[in-house]
């Protein structure tokens, strides 16, 4: 009989060991600290409102028959708002997919936990079935003396407690599986909604870009308008020269003068998502056929196409002397590097630095876009020496293609 009690004791020890092993091998699932689905939805609704307001402002400007530069600025606001909506919905989709994968992993973990616990419980039942000639009552009744009976009762109580513990764990695992299954269903539905929203937003952005391009082409076909566009561009170039001269003059605020002084050397390529190569240029420095309307124009820098929102980085350390909208150039950044050298980054969708800020070489200063007189996402990069536009080729070390 003592041999049988010893076997019972070993069985209890085996069960304890198995339970501890299961607990460590399959820790309870912890909820993801990421944004909730309702938070993601709220952010998308805020951006949708922003897009709607931008469209309303555009309609107002067009009805007032404002000049083309004002209309372009308003159209850019609509396009940027729509692009932000598209980016946010894509980010939301990525977030939901990540949560979905986490849910699937947790579900698989819960299933394994349940299977492991079932296996342990099965072994437990099998043991007492195979050695069932002595039941719980028999174990107690066959005690020799009070102390032996108390010891046997403790064994029985331990075994029953472990049985209950196993059953409780099995129930908890089943509940976890059920909960995670429902979460996966909800997140899958949310993901499907975001995919549909993505497609709608993408179509809206493309439609707005096409509308802007058509308006600009129509406007530029008229000779008087064509001359006005040229005059606006020339005026913007003069404004750039004036700003550079201001930043270099002793009377200008000291915070806008560059603490870094360029003394030579190769500048950093401003669009890291594209290779520093002539093949990455869509237009170079020099005379070219106008991309909008007819005729020719002098192009004052390198055009480097990139996807919407791509990082635009500082070509060298320096101080931002301009950060804002500029006719023709759209959202523009200008950086004074000292030694008479200034770099310009035009047509950005948004700016990530402000006027007066000190920046480091390679630091992001803007995000790529198509604001101003542009119909496709790209960075218009200029090098200005003592206010005058010069070829970026010797500074970047990248061959200039035909203007």
Alpha-carbon span 127 to 8, nearest angstrom: 9
Q: Which domains does the chain have, with CATH numbers?
A: 2-219 (no CATH), 231-396 (2.70.70.10)
CA distances from 247 to 30, 36, 238, 331, 338 (A): 55, 47, 14, 19, 10
- Enter the tokens of residue 25: 């091998």
Phi (first) and psi of residue 71, to 5 degrees: -65, -40
What percent of the chain lies above the pLDDT cut of 70? 71
- Mean pLDDT value of segment 145-149: 70
Residues in the chain: 403
Greater confidence (335 vs 196) lies with 335
What's the pLDDT score for residue 229? 67
Q: What is the mean pLDDT of the chain?
A: 77
Question: pLDDT class for 26, splitting at 50, 70, 90?
Answer: very low
Its pTM stands at 0.62
């Amino acid at each position: 009989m003592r041999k049988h009690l010893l076997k019972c004791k070993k069985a209890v020890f085996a069960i304890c060991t198995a339970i501890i092993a299961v607990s460590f091998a399959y820790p309870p699932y912890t909820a993801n600290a990421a944004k909730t689905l309702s938070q993601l939805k709220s952010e998308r609704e805020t951006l949708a409102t922003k897009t709607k307001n931008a469209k309303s402002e555009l309609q107002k400007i067009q009805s007032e028959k404002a000049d083309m530069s004002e209309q372009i600025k308003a159209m850019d606001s609509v396009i940027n708002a729509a692009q932000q909506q598209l980016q946010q919905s894509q980010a939301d989709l990525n977030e939901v997919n990540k949560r979905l994968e986490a849910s699937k992993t947790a579900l698989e973990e819960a299933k394994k936990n349940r299977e492991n616990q079932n296996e342990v419980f099965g072994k437990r039942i099998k043991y007492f079935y195979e050695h069932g000639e002595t039941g719980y009552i028999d174990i107690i009744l066959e005690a020799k003396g009070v102390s032996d009976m108390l010891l046997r009762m403790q064994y029985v109580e331990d075994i029953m407690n472990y049985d209950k513990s196993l059953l409780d764990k099995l129930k908890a695992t089943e509940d976890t599986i059920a909960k995670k299954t429902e979460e996966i269903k909800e997140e899958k539905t949310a993901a499907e909604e975001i995919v549909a929203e993505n497609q709608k937003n993408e179509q809206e952005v493309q439609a707005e870009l096409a509308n802007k391009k058509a308006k600009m082409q129509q406007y530029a076909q008229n000779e008087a308008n064509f001359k006005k566009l040229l005059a606006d561009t020339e005026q913007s170039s003069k404004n750039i020269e004036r700003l550079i001269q201001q930043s270099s003059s002793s009377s200008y605020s000291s915070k806008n003068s560059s603490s870094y002084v360029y003394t030579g050397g190769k500048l950093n390529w401003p669009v890291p998502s594209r290779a520093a190569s002539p093949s990455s240029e869509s237009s170079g420095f020099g005379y070219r056929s106008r991309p909008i309307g007819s005729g020719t124009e002098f192009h004052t820098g390198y055009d480097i196409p990139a996807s919407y929102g791509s990082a635009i980085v500082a070509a060298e350390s320096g101080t931002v002397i301009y950060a804002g909208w500029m006719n023709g150039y759209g959202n523009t950044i200008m950086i004074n590097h000292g030694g008479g050298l200034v770099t310009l980054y035009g047509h950005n969708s948004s700016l990530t630095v402000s006027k007066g800020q000190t920046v480091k070489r390679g630091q992001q200063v803007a995000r790529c876009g198509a604001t101003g007189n542009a119909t496709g996402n790209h960075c218009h990069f200029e090098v200005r020496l003592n206010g005058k536009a010069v070829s970026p080729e010797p500074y970047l070390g990248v061959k200039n293609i035909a203007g």
